[in-house]
């Protein structure tokens, strides 16, 4: 679905009074990212490749749901033309969010969404024991292609997260992006920086504490 980010937000979000607040978790991961009405993350990191990007992530909260808006600049949009199912998201450009009840990732929940709004969602147990048969029941997605990049907006109900053991007064979250190119090379971006030599989002150190009101 092509359209401006303004249209996407208006279509997805309820009528709430939004006050944006900037947050950089990497300045102190022990301090939780608090989502009241709105919080923003400006820029993700690929320390494995010595790169930073200008992805904007805004997270909104109301009494019913958590809402996410990713605005991505991408000059090498990479998509699967003959899309057959969820696994075809894996070699594509995409944004990702992980929800974990605790810091150890004993059981956590993931959604990976491409620029056309196609979803790969699954549950997982650390280390990297994926259950691709699991799906979010309340996930709703809108997306839009831009001249240079794309926008993905989505929401998930708080009641579903609570039913999964995610205590909204204190849980763990991951914000990620995959930037593929047609030749198959890829840069992996994360909100949390790492000193690992190679990217691996499926480990506790890549999550940050969060709260949602």
pLDDT digits (tens, 9 = 90+) for 27-40: 334 467 888 767 89
| Beta-sheet pairing, 171-180 with 94-100 | antiparallel
From 75, 72, 156, select the one nearest 114 (Cα to Cα). 72
- pLDDT one-digit tens code per residue, 137-190: 999 999 999 999 999 999 999 999 999 999 999 999 999 999 999 999 999 999
Domain range enclosing 173: 5-212
Q: Which pLDDT band, with edges at 50, 70 and 90, does 12 fall under? A: low
Residue 129: partners with Cβ closer than 8 Å, 6 or more residues away: none
Question: How far is Cα 135 from Cα 89, in angstroms, rounded to an integer?
Answer: 15
The whole-number pLDDT of residue 72 equals 96
pLDDT of 2 higher than 80: no
The whole-number pLDDT of residue 88 equals 98
- pLDDT one-digit tens code per residue, 73-104: 999 999 999 999 999 999 999 999 999 999 99
- CATH number of the domain encompassing residue 54: 2.60.40.1190
pLDDT of 21 higher than 80: no
Q: Given the structure tokens 């995959």, which residue do they identify?
A: 178
Rounded to an integer, the average pLDDT of 185-205 is 95
Q: Provide the domain count of the chain.
A: 1
Q: Would you give the DSSP letter of residue 170?
A: S
Pick the more confident residue, 164 or 3: 164
First CA to last CA across the chain, in angstroms? 31
pLDDT of 197 higher than 80: yes
Is residue 109 a contact partner of residue 136, using CB atoms and an 8 Å limit?
Answer: yes
Q: Which pLDDT band, with edges at 50, 70 and 90, does 9 fall under? A: low
Q: Which pLDDT band, with edges at 50, 70 and 90, does 20 fall under? A: very low
Least confident interval from 19-28, 76-85, 105-114: 19-28
Distance, C-alpha 46 to centroid of its chain = 15
| Beta-sheet pairing, 140-146 with 149-157 | antiparallel
């Amino acid at each position: 679905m092509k359209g401006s980010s303004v249209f996407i937000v208006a279509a997805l979000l309820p009528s709430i009074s939004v006050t944006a607040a900037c947050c950089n978790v990497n300045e102190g991961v022990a301090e939780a990212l608090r989502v009241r009405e709105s919080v923003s993350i400006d820029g993700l990191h690929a320390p494995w490749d010595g790169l930073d990007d200008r992805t904007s992530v805004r997270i909104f909260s109301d009494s019913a749901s958590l809402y996410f808006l990713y605005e991505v600049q991408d000059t090498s949009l990479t998509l699967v033309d003959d899309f057959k199912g969820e696994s075809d998201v894996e070699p594509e450009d995409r944004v990702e969010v992980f929800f974990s009840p605790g810091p150890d990732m004993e059981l956590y929940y993931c959604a990976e969404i491409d620029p056309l709004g196609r979803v790969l969602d699954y549950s997982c147990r650390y280390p990297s024991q994926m259950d691709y048969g699991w799906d979010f029941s309340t996930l709703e997605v809108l997306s839009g292609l831009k001249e240079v990049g794309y926008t993905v907006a989505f929401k998930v109900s708080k009641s579903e997260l609570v039913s999964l053991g995610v205590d909204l007064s204190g849980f763990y979250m991951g914000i990620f992006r995959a930037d593929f190119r047609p030749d198959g090379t890829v840069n992996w971006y994360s909100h949390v920086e790492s000193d690992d030599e190679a990217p691996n989002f499926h480990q506790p150190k890549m999550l940050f504490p969060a709260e949602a009101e």
